[in-house]
Amino acid sequence: MQVNFSERSMAEMRRLEPLEQVTILGELGDLRTEQFLDGADPRRFGRVHRGGKTLYRLRIGDLRFYFEFTAEGIFCHHILPRHSFEDFCFRCGLASPNDGAAELEGKFWYFLEEQGERHRDNGADNGGKL
């Protein structure tokens, strides 16, 4: 299967070691839509809806690949580091921290407040820190 990358995801690929790039291309090229149907391993595969499109997530090592299946093959929109703030924002539908708009997004502040309240409600004394 043919694999294409957005400019941004291609820039991320170029930062990787050549052997890692080959491994990733092999894994992406072997994907089939059937792997993402109900019952797929949620630790490895995921699905998000953005801009009227269904993007699939594949975990490979410490990276998260967000892509869609197209008539030509696979188009990778984003490559994000595992457990990164940017990955969190993308999965939650928040603005990307790279564009400086995440803090303007009401959901972002609501999430932080909600997490702080949960932490306090669980009896944790955090000394005023989240």
Q: Is the pLDDT of residue 9 over 70?
A: yes
Residue corresponding to tokens 């457990």: 83
Do 9 and 62 sit in the same domain of this protein?
yes
Task: Please tell me the predicted confidence (pLDDT) of residue 76.
Answer: 93
Separation between Cα atoms, residue 52 and residue 75, nearest integer Å: 15
In this structure, is residue 126 part of a structural domain? no
Do 60 and 21 sit in the same domain of this protein?
yes
In this structure, is residue 13 part of a structural domain? yes
Do 67 and 97 sit in the same domain of this protein?
no
In this structure, is residue 127 part of a structural domain? no
Q: Which of 39-48, 63-72, 94-103 has the lowest mean pLDDT?
A: 94-103
Q: Per-residue pLDDT averaged across 58-70, rounded? A: 89
Number of domains in the chain: 2
Task: Please tell me the predicted confidence (pLDDT) of residue 102.
Answer: 44
State what percent of residues in the chain have pLDDT above 90: 21
Q: Is the pLDDT of residue 6 over 90?
A: yes
* Choice between 126 and 57, residue whose per-residue pLDDT is larger: 57
Give the 3-state secondary structure of residue 64.
strand
Give the CATH number of the domain where residue 24 resides: 3.30.2310.20
Task: Identify residue 55 by its one-letter amino acid code.
Answer: L
Q: Which of 5-9, 41-45, 70-74, 93-97 has the lowest mean pLDDT?
A: 93-97
- The residues, ordered by sequence, that sit 6+ positions from 79 with a Cβ below 8 Å of its Cβ are 9, 12, 13, 63, 64, 65, 66
Helix axes 85-92, 106-121, angle to 10 degrees: 110
Do 47 and 104 sit in the same domain of this protein?
no
Domain assignment of residue 72, given as a range: 2-82
Maximum CA pair distance of the chain?
A: 54
